[in-house]
A and B are shown apart, each in its own frame.
Chain A
Amino acid sequence: MNREHQNTECTNKELLDKDQFKHEIEEICRIYPMRRSALMPALHLAQQQYGYLSVQAMHEVANILELPPVQVYEVASFYSLYHTRPIGTCHLQLCTNVSCMLANAEMLMGVIKQTLAIEQEQTTHDGRFTLSAVECLGACDKAPVLQINNEPYIEHLTELQLRKLLAQLIEQTSPPAEWHQPETDKVIKVRNV
């Protein structure tokens, strides 16, 4: 089995058409003795493809894997890194667990909230930024730690660095393609909690 079948996300940079998408998932199925095992990697692929797991995207996965759609929803809603609602282009994930908390992560969280004018688990109206407080990222000796999307961590983050980083991101980040700006007074939550 070649590298692509082990991890479609790393190698697959272009968007796939429906047939290619189905083909990719069929290839993923081959590494497992049961088709259902391919559900999680298929959802990762769908999320990469569509930006988030829309009902339509989940139905497409359900069709290919011959599963009732509800079984796909229940898996998608269980894991915190599957987004069943649109999220921002730039997803800021600040670790706030104990080691990062002891290294002042709460203050950094305040800086991000204030700069972007959103709360945790919310997205800015222009769809550019989503802010999450995340659980331990496994780099506690380099606390506090921030991850943007799935990029390498930003470690030993200081307030000054964070302010610079945010200014830079605000300048460079565009909204996701097909972002529909909601009514101005509406809070855009990542999920209902």
Chain B
Amino acid sequence: MFEPVLLKNATLGNAWLLDVYQANGGYDAWRQVLRSYKPSDVIGQVKASNLRGRGGAGFPTGLKWSFIPVDSPSKRYLCCNADEGEPGTFKDKFLMEQDPHQLLEGMAIAAYAVGAHKAYIYLRYEFSLALERLLQAIDSAKSNGLLGNNILGSGFELEIYIHRNAGAYICGEETALLQSLEGYRGEPRLKPPFPAIKGYCASPTVVNNVETLACIPSIITKGAEWFAAIGPEKSPGPKLYCLSGQIKKPGLYELPMGIPLRELVEHYGGGCQDGRQLKAVIPGGVSAPMLPADQIDIAMDFDNLAAAGSMLGSAGVIVMDDTASIVEVVKRTMEFFSHESCGKCSPCREGTLWAVKILRRFADGTATYDDLAQLHTLCTDIAGNSFCALADGAIMALSAGLKHFESEFTERINEPNPHATLKLGGDSEHD
């Protein structure tokens, strides 16, 4: 039986209070680290746990930390990516609202591991309750000597600050986040150099997602082997799954990594409403290619979903039943990416806009076969031709829609089918 790890305090209802958090074992890991761990020991533990980044890319966290040069004379920084904005995702917001100390404790341990004395939580502006709870948590942690100067008499110093975004999805991309933190437009930087070498203020910087950092205290107290034994060997650990869309029991579920998508949707989510049939599932936020109903017997982890041509992403699972229009879903997704394109690279800026215009014609029922061909061309022309992965996400959503549900697109075309004409030997009267 799987015991919740990340959400174990969330159900208490007042775990954002320091006393409640500490009464349930909170800050034990931080005390343990300061008492008996060298920074390299912490990195070793996190590496051994096989924890992979929960923001979407799944990069091994311990490895990311180990890229920070130990002998660098410049200051080092830790940034927590709390700019949760992938449509279909609502896990980080919940963690920050219900259990902010778990995040702060994870950040403190991470900062200690990489030698950072300043850390920033890059927070989505709209999350006002999370802001309030985090500020309160930072205050009480500081006044109890858990953050600030000479923490618990160890001589280690750490300040955690909050930096609020102002509405830009692209700032969830780590180099765009750093640009934004420096007071610039959130336009991604070319990598390399990676943030571990040249990040915030050109100094070594680690950027980690909220859920990733929230895993750290348990890895310290329960051990790397315990963590590594949960779920699949290559991407283990507890995982938050966000279930939404046309489903009976939408909500946030904590289960082991690698749970079958069908079990998640049918058992935990209760399946579709009575009388409706499952049509498709987006497994990891709208950037993740949708899977048709007959392809959801798949494990929810980074490697299995990638092998199936989709991705785990942020584990924002959006369920669509037989009343959903794939054309509308793809159109709305493309509108999102077009709106959120930072504008730096023309394939993304112009390509997503063209795609929106074409998809609106499909939605209106005024599209042509040329439009359909153009959509296919855009898929190949946009993918892989920009600085960051935003346009690739847009294209994956579009191409999965076309691949699995092309008939829904052709149904919206308002002209005779030229291919049908050709088969009939060019006799358009029979069309």
Q: Name A's B-contacting residues (CB within 8 A).
A: 1, 3, 6-7, 10, 31, 33-34, 36-41, 43-44, 74-75, 78-82, 96-99, 101-102, 135-143, 147, 150-152
Contacts and interface: CB of A to CB of B under 8 A. Distances in A.
Contact of A136 (B85, B128, B180): B85
A80 B125 CA distance: 11
Contacts of A41: 163-164
Nearest to B244: A140
A40 B244 contact: no
Task: Kindly list the 5 A-B residue pairs having the minimum CB-CB distance in the complex, ordered from nearest.
Answer: A140-B244, A79-B166, A39-B183, A81-B167, A136-B87
A139 B93 contact: yes
A140 B87 contact: yes
B198 interface: no
Q: Max chain B CB contacts within 10 Å: which of A39, A137, A139? A: A137
Given A40-B163, A40-B183, A150-B126, A102 B93 contact: no
Given A140-B88, A152-B128, A79 B168 contact: yes
A169 B243 CA distance: 32
Contacts of A141: 90, 242-244, 250-252
Contacts of A102: 245-246, 318, 320, 324, 329
Given A99-B87, A137-B126, A80 B167 contact: yes
Contacts of A74: 185
A135 B182 contact: no
Contacts, number: 144
A115 B37 CA distance: 62
Given A41-B163, A97-B286, A99-B245, 17 more contacts: A33-B201, A36-B182, A37-B181, A78-B186, A98-B88, A98-B245, A101-B328, A135-B85, A136-B85, A138-B84, A138-B89, A138-B92, A138-B124, A140-B318, A141-B243, A143-B250, A152-B128
Given A36-B182, A38-B183, A152-B129, A44 B166 contact: yes
Q: Max chain B CB contacts within 10 Å: which of A33, A41, A141? A: A141
Interface in B245-259: 245-246, 250-252
